[in-house]
C-alpha cells in the first residue's frame, strides 16, 4: 500500500468516507431485551466489499408481558453507482432505536482534457417516509452525502406530507454534484444514504415508522476550464487502491461514457 493511499485513507476516515468499496451497516436497540429464539434474527449487520454488497436484518425485543414489544426489519445494498436502504420499526410500550447506512466509493480519473475542468455527476434519488400511530411530523426522511474530488455535499429531501395529516410521503428527483477537477488526476468519488430513528411506541396505538432511499448514478458531464462541454471525455474507475505518488494513473478499464451533447456549449444551469 503506497503512501498516497495511506494519506487518502486517513483523510477519508476522518470524514467518515468509505474507500474503494460498497459498505452497508445497520443496527437496532431497545430498553427491552432482544428476542432469543427466532433463528437469523439479530441486532446488527455489517458488510463491506469492492463488489456488490447487501445486508438484511430482522430484529425484535420483548418485555416481561405481551403488552411490551417492538421490532422491525432493515435492508441495504451498495455497489458502485447505486445505494439503497429500507427501515421499518414499531410496537407498543417500549423504546426503539434503529438505523442503516449504505455507501459506495472508488477512485476515478477524468480523461479527455488538460489542466483544470469541472466534473458534474448526475444522480436520481428516490426517497420516502411514513409514520403510523404518531403525527406525520414524526416521520424521519433519509439523508444523503456525496463526496467528489475532496468536496462533500449533504442533502435531505423535502418530503412534504400533503395534506398535513397524510402519514406517508415520497419524492423522486434528479440531483447533481459539481466540483472542480484536474484532468488525469486520481480522485475519490462516492455517495451514501442513511436513516436513524429513535422513538417510544405508545400503548395501544401500534406506533411505527418507515423510511426508504436510493441513489443511482446516471451519468457525468465534463466541462473544460472555459465551461465548454467535452462530449468525448470519459471517467475511468480504478478497481484498485490508489497508485504511488507521481504515477499518472489511467485505470485498467471500466470507462464510463459521459452524458453530454455537442450542441450544449454553456455551463448547465442545474447544480
Structure confidence by residue, pLDDT tens digits, 13-71: 444 555 557 999 999 999 999 987 677 789 999 999 888 999 999 999 998 887 889 99
28: number of Cβ within 10 Å: 26
Do the beta carbons of residue 38 and residue 69 sit within 8 Å?
no
Do the beta carbons of residue 47 and residue 23 sit within 8 Å?
yes
Categorise residue 44: left if φ over 0, alpha if ψ from -120 to 50, beta otherwise.
beta
8: number of Cβ within 10 Å: 21
Predicted model pTM = 0.80
Percent of the chain with pLDDT over 70: 79
Alpha-carbon span 164 to 85, nearest angstrom:
25
Give yes or no for residue 3 having a pLDDT over 70: no
Q: What is the pLDDT of residue 132?
A: 87
**pLDDT tens digits for range 121-171:** 999 999 999 998 877 888 899 999 999 999 999 999 999 888 888 888 999
Alpha-carbon span 198 to 71, nearest angstrom:
12
Alpha-carbon span 228 to 225, nearest angstrom:
8
Amino acid at each position: 500500500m503506497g503512501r498516497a493511499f495511506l494519506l487518502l485513507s486517513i483523510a477519508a476516515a476522518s470524514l467518515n468516507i468509505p474507500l474503494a468499496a460498497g459498505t452497508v451497516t445497520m443496527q437496532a436497540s431497545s430498553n427491552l431485551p432482544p428476542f432469543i429464539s427466532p433463528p437469523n434474527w439479530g441486532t446488527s449487520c455489517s458488510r463491506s466489499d469492492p463488489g456488490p454488497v447487501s445486508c438484511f436484518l430482522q430484529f425484535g425485543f420483548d418485555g416481561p408481558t405481551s403488552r411490551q414489544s417492538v421490532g422491525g426489519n432493515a435492508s441495504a445494498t451498495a455497489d458502485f453507482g447505486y445505494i439503497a436502504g429500507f427501515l421499518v420499526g414499531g410496537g407498543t410500550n417500549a423504546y426503539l432505536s434503529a438505523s442503516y447506512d449504505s455507501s459506495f466509493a472508488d477512485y476515478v480519473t477524468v480523461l479527455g482534457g488538460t489542466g483544470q475542468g469541472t466534473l458534474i455527476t448526475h444522480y436520481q434519488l428516490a426517497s420516502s417516509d411514513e409514520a403510523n400511530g404518531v403525527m406525520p411530523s414524526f416521520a424521519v426522511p433519509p439523508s444523503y452525502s456525496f463526496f467528489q474530488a475532496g468536496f462533500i455535499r449533504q442533502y435531505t429531501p423535502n418530503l412534504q406530507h400533503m395534506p398535513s395529516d397524510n402519514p406517508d410521503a415520497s419524492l423522486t428527483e434528479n440531483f447533481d454534484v459539481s466540483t472542480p477537477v484536474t484532468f488525469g488526476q486520481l480522485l475519490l468519488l462516492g455517495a451514501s444514504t442513511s436513516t436513524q430513528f429513535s422513538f417510544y411506541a405508545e400503548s395501544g396505538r401500534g406506533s411505527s415508522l418507515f423510511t426508504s432511499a436510493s441513489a443511482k448514478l446516471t451519468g457525468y458531464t465534463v466541462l473544460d476550464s472555459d465551461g465548454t462541454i467535452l462530449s468525448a471525455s470519459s471517467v475511468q474507475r480504478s478497481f484498485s487502491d490508489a497508485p504511488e505518488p507521481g504515477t499518472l494513473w489511467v485505470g485498467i478499464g471500466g470507462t464510463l461514457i459521459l452524458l453530454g451533447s455537442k450542441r450544449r456549449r454553456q455551463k448547465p444551469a442545474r447544480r
